[in-house]
A = this chain, B = another copy of it.
Amino acid sequence: MAQKETSALILAAGKGIRMKSDMPKVLHMVCGAPMLGYVLETARACSLNPIRVVVGYGHARVQKEFAGKKIDWIRQKEQLGTGHAVMTAAAKYQGFTGEVLVLPGDVPLLTAETVNLLLRAHRRAKADCTILTAELNDPAGYGRIIRDGRGAVSAIVEHKDATKAQLKIKEINSGIMVFRGASLFGIIRELKSDNAQGEYYLTDVVTLLKRRRKKVAAFTVEDGREVLGINSRAQLAEVGRIMRMRIIERFMEEGVTIVDPENTYIERDVEIGRDTVILPYTVINAGVRVGRGCEVGPFTHLRVGTVMEDGAEVGNFTEVKKGLIGRNTKAKHLSYLGDVKIGADANIGAGTIVANYDGRKKHLTVIGRGAFVGSGSVLVAPVKVGKNAVTGAGAVVTRAHDVPDGGVVVGVPARPLKKKKTEKKKKKRR
């Protein structure tokens, strides 16, 4: 399979009127990434090349979001429909002899597996165009796939133009199509915009191809939810829900206990080790790594850059941002741990704040193995608490006042505990 010759042409120019947003539609977030990011990732996973993205509304913002990625951007100044978007890209494909996979930028649930199956079906059928279709229980609003007696596609009929019999067809056009490049660009200029919207529709290419006796095939996706597009905030939420459940089901298969899947929010690009338990009301953002046998939650927010080593426990109104939580270390009550490296077997008391931000920039705090951070402590970064060191309840360890290994500090600001007191205390303890 000559996948080198298959280009992805991603349509991402629309504003998404129904989103009622100032942000370009494809930048809206799904489980920790803009929806366009998923489509790009799928294109890369299928080794599609080149990847071209047609942008229009908010193009600068879209390009900036994906700066540094290998993308050939195409600017569509006016948004005159999907057909027009492909026309705008045509110049880039002069002399191109491969396939073109046209993808909407708003289908984050589409998997690489499905794209590969579509491409394989296209090649086997030696088709000029293969449409990815889906069987929907409620096909209302979608273009229906009309097949002839032998199962070949004869037309796509828009919902509003469909007869009563056609309305009963449950196979719909996903808007995802692969073309023999020469067939597509040999015909794209013939599209007309003489319709109610005054737009050029890519689906009309099917009619033009059929008229020239070109072969149009169809491949039906197994799970119709993969081709769900996002045109409103409600659909954004629905697609997000499906994506989350997909993520959570994968973790459960791999041996993670998710106590209440409906009340657990885990984004993409997260790793969680076997026999870790995720308690309800937990939010884990993209990029977090959780080891084996950990406990997370309830009421916990693990943010970007956080790593929990095996056996670590974080819970009960605790937020960690760029924190390394060492092996078997516990931070289980009302704590904010920002930009911190904590060694193994440490105990972070209730109400601990690691203050990483001084109003201008963020600094690192280091807490040694076996340290005991007393309840209500505030550690002001940059600062270091040594191995097996102790901070008293309510201590405010100020910037650069490092606590040595085994040291004990108390008070506001925190200062070393005087020897006498320590001894007295020890006696008392006996």
A residues whose Cβ falls under 8 Å from a Cβ of B: 19-23, 28-29, 232-234, 236-237, 240-241, 244, 249, 251-263, 265, 274-275, 279-281, 283, 298-299, 301, 316-317, 319, 333-336, 338, 347, 349-351, 353, 355, 357, 359, 372, 374-376, 378, 380, 390, 392-394, 396, 398, 400, 410-413, 428
Residue of A237, A241, A256, A413 with most partner-chain B CB within 10 A: A237
Q: A301 and B316: CB pair below 8 A? A: yes
State which of B254, B301, B333, B394 has its C-beta within 8 Å of the C-beta of A396.
B394
- The answer to whether A316 and B316 touch across the interface, beta carbons within 8 angstroms, is no
- With A280-B283, A281-B283, A283-B281: A351-B333 Cβ-Cβ less than 8 Å: no
Top 7 nearest A-B pairs (CB, nearest first) are A20-B255, A355-B375, A394-B396, A233-B252, A336-B350, A376-B378, A351-B353
- Verify B375–A375 contact, CB threshold 8 A: no
Q: Contact check: which of B316, B319, B410 meets A319 at CB < 8 Å?
A: B316
Q: Is the CB of B275 within 8 A of A252?
A: no
Contacts of A301 in B (CB 8 A): 298-299, 316
Residues of chain B with a CB closer than 8 A to A376's CB: 353, 355, 376, 378, 396
Q: 11 extra interchain contacts, Cβ-Cβ under 8 A, other than A233-B255, A237-B260, A376-B376?
A: A21-B255, A233-B251, A233-B257, A234-B249, A262-B262, A279-B283, A333-B336, A333-B338, A353-B393, A380-B393, A393-B398
Residues of the B chain whose Cβ atoms lie less than 8 Å from the Cβ of A350: 336, 338, 353, 355
Complex: A167 Cα to B418 Cα, angstroms: 79
| Given known contacts A336-B334, A411-B412, A237 and B261 CB-to-CB distance under 8 angstroms | yes
Is B349 a contact of A351 with CB atoms below 8 Å? no
In the bound assembly, the distance between CA atoms of A359 and B374 in angstroms comes to: 9
CB-CB under 8 A from A265, the residues of chain B are 259-260, 263, 280-281, 298
Q: A355 and B334 in contact (CB under 8 A), knowing A19-B255, A241-B262?
A: no
Q: List 19 A-B contacts (CB under 8 A).
A: A20-B253, A20-B274, A21-B275, A22-B274, A233-B251, A234-B249, A237-B252, A265-B281, A279-B283, A280-B283, A317-B319, A334-B334, A338-B350, A347-B357, A347-B359, A350-B355, A359-B390, A394-B396, A411-B412
Is the Cβ of B260 less than 8 Å from the Cβ of A240? yes
- Residues A22 and B275 in contact in the complex (CB < 8 Å), given A233-B257, A412-B411: yes
Query: Of all chain B residues, which has the CB nearest A255?
Result: B20
> Are B280 and A259 interface neighbours, CB within 8 A?
no
Q: Residues of B contacting A261 with CB < 8 Å?
A: 237
A20 to B253, CA, bound (A): 8
Contacts of A283 in B (CB 8 A): 279-281, 298-299
Bound Cα distance A338, B263 (Å)? 26
List of B residues within 8 angstroms of A335 by Cβ:
334
CA distance A22 to B410 in the complex (A): 42
Complex Cα spacing A244 to B259, Å: 11
In the complex, which of the residues B240, B253, B412 contacts A232, with contact meaning CB atoms closer than 8 Å?
B253
* Whole-angstrom CA separation of A249 from B235 in the bound complex: 11
CB pair A393–B355 under 8 Å, yes or no, is yes
Cα-based distance from A232 to B275 in the complex (angstroms): 12
Q: CA of A280 to CA of B281 in the docked complex: distance in angstroms?
A: 9
- Cα(A409)–Cα(B108), bound, Å: 50
Q: How far is the CB of A390 from chain B (nearest CB, A)?
A: 7
Q: Are B252 and A232 in contact (CB under 8 A)?
A: yes
Chain B residue with Cβ nearest A249: B234
Q: Could you tell me the distance between the alpha carbons of A399 and B236 in the complex, rounded to whole angstroms?
A: 47
Cα distance, A255 to B22, chains bound together (Å): 9
